[in-house]
């Protein structure tokens, strides 16, 4: 990620969301490489966040948006 003039809180938000997605990928045995990401892996991450972490749909959407 290119360093931009982002506030401390924005950087912390991105870091937190990336950590949750990374944990979801590792717990499910998926590769961490963005080039290997596909639709089924993304669906698994969404399912992990909603079922295991009990995140609201808005929170799940924020986590996905942080990965774009």
pLDDT value at position 3? 61
User: What's the mean pLDDT in 26-43?
Assistant: 90
The residue range of the domain holding 53 is 37-68
Q: Kindly report the average pLDDT of the chain as a whole number.
A: 89
Number of domains in the chain: 1
pTM assigned to the model: 0.78
For residue 34, pLDDT beyond 80: yes
Does a structural domain hold residue 15? no
- Average confidence (pLDDT) over 32-40: 88
Residue 3 lies in a domain: no
36/50 Cα distance (integer angstroms):
23
Closest CA relative to residue 60, chosen from 2, 36, 52, 30: 52
């Amino acid at each position: 990620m290119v360093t931009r003039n982002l506030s401390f809180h924005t950087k912390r938000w991105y870091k937190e969301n990336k950590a949750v997605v990374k944990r979801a990928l590792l717990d499910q045995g998926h590769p961490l490489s963005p080039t290997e990401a596909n639709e089924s892996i993304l669906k698994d991450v969404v399912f992990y966040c909603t079922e295991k972490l009990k995140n609201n749909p808005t929170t799940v959407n924020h986590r996905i948006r942080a990965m774009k």
